[in-house]
Amino acid sequence: MSARQAISVRGGRTLEGEIVIQGAKNSALPILAASVLCKTEVTLYNCPRLTDCDAAMRILTTIGCSCKREGNVVSINPSVVSATEIPSSLMREMRSSVIFSGALLGREKRCRLSFPGGCEIGARPIDYHIAAFKKMGVSVQDEHGYLNLTAQKLSGAVIVLPMPSVGATENIMLAAVLAKGVTEIHNAAREPEIVDLAEFLIKCGAKISGAGTELIVIEGVKELYGCDYTVMPDRIAAATYLCAGAVTRGELVLAKADYNSLRPVISVLEQMGVSIYGYGGNYIYINAKKTLKAPPMIRTAVHPGFPTDAQPVLMALCMTAEGTTVFSETIFENRYRHVSELTRLGGKINVEGRVAVVEGVPKLSGAELMATDLRGGAAMVVAALFADGVTRVGNASYIYRGYEDIEERLRSVGADIRTVQVH
């Protein structure tokens, strides 16, 4: 249905006003998976209304949990788990469905899933997840594109990740909380969403220390019980709205936002000449009325480095700044697919392997674009807000995977933006 929608933007309006930031997709997804580990009901507040969250809820229903949503509140009753297979259609729809494997192993000691294939932003293998599960006593059979994971007993283990993978760290945490003994995750991912997942699990009765550092220690417990939990604010959606405000040289307040998790993005925006400060606990003020200077170099890195997910939206902003920016993408090998679309607006960007050189231009003009992936699509919307005339971003379904009510939010601060049906 949404695959046939496009987002239409008439650029040139200055954004002014307040945007409320949604709950974090990348936190809600592992927490929805983690609810499988509980014996009693989980209530999640601030759970964003996104197609990716719908897919996670469909997995919960498929494996036997009951699940309902009222607005941004999702209740999961995980008392019964009657199936342990993640259907291949859902694996294909959302690669992060793999996060359910750790939870199902923890709860049922088994899981069957199809191999997540290639992806629009890179290969995204799951070898670290599988190697860690094996260390915990899981036997892995690969048959006709399916992985059968089974364990007589899940045991704690010392796991050293080759790189701090977010998904692998989360999956190991999920498998370890009910395993026998102690699990150590060395070289763990330190992203704020890992801390959010750990805080949820601890509230359910898990024993976890060190989340947010490179050594996470998990002592297995016998049982977990559901709780009420509020998902953290989405730092990538917030980064997108900061870039949207800045690209229009506007003045915005982001409400329900988390300043600390956004520091790597905020420091770049400040370097560009944008004034930003946090206040009142969860508000961020941004004013971009001055001339914006291009930051010379942006290198994506694991947290607390500059987030790869914010690279495309920052690139859209740099296209309009004074000077040249060199982007170096170190996390995913194929994360510049948005570039050829952005150049249709008149942007000057050259890509060579993992490096993109962006030369700022004073003017962009509206064009017909196609979203290439979630964050690339968001970057096209950001650039369109600056461009003269109308830009249509097709394949809007990519954008709806991660942005709740993006048109309404931007319209409420003055953007001329709407959804159009494509026939």
Residues in contact with ligand UD1 by CB under 6 A are 26, 29, 96, 122-129, 163, 165-168, 189, 308-309, 331-332
Least distance in Å: CB of 96 to ligand UD1?
A: 4
Active site residue 243: no
Asked if the peptide bond before residue 304 counts as cis, ω within 30 degrees of 0, the response is: yes
- Judge contact between 69 and 30, C-beta under 8 A: no
Closest to ligand UD1 by CB, 165 vs 183, is 165
- Paired strand residues for 275: 287
Question: How far is residue 217 from each of residues 191, 226, 303, measured CA to CA in Å?
Answer: 16, 21, 19
- How far apart are alpha carbons 271 and 210 in whole angstroms? 32
Neighbouring residues of 127: CB distance < 8 A, sequence distance ≥ 6:
none
Nearer to ligand UD1, 83 or 163 (CB): 163
- The minimum distance between CB 129 and ligand UD1, in angstroms, equals 5
Q: Which is nearer to ligand UD1, 124 or 409 (CB)?
A: 124
Long-range contacts of 132-138 (CB under 8 A, 24+ apart): 132/157, 132/159, 132/161, 132/168, 132/171, 132/172, 132/175, 133/101, 133/102, 133/105, 133/171, 133/172, 133/175, 135/159, 136/105, 136/172, 136/175, 136/176, 136/179, 136/183, 138/105, 138/175
Q: From the CB of 200, what's the least distance to ligand UD1, in Å?
A: 14
Q: Which is nearer to ligand UD1, 333 or 408 (CB)?
A: 333
- The number of beta carbons lying within 10 Å of the beta carbon of residue 60 is 22
Helices and strands counted in the chain (H then E): 14, 24
The Cα-based distances of 251 to 85, 267, 347 in angstroms read 48, 17, 24
Closer residue to ligand UD1 in complex, CB, 191/391: 191
Tokens (6 digits) for 283: 């508000």
Residue with tokens 């196609």: 370
Residue number with CB closer to ligand UD1 (132 or 345): 132
Q: Report in angstroms how near the CB of residue 130 gets to ligand UD1 at its nearest.
A: 7
Shortest distance (Å) from residue 94 CB to ligand UD1: 8
- Which CB sits closer to ligand UD1, 53 or 224? 53
- Produce one character per residue of 289-305: b if its CB has 16 or more CB atoms within 10 Å, e if not: eeebbbbeebebbbbee
What minimum distance in Å lies between the beta carbon of 231 and ligand UD1? Answer: 13
Handedness of CA 394, 372, 302, 182 (dihedral sign): positive
Q: Is the alpha carbon torsion for 408, 414, 415, 420 positive or negative?
A: positive
Strands 275-279 and 42-45: unpaired
Q: Which is nearer to ligand UD1, 17 or 118 (CB)?
A: 118
**The one catalytic residue among 119, 204, 227, 318:** 119
CB of 195 to ligand UD1, least distance (A): 13
3-state SS record for 46-84: CCCCCHHHHHHHHHHHHCCCEEEEECCEEEEECCCCCCC
Cβ of residue 39: shortest distance to ligand UD1, in angstroms? 26
Instruction: Report, as residue numbers or ranges, the catalytic residues.
Output: 119
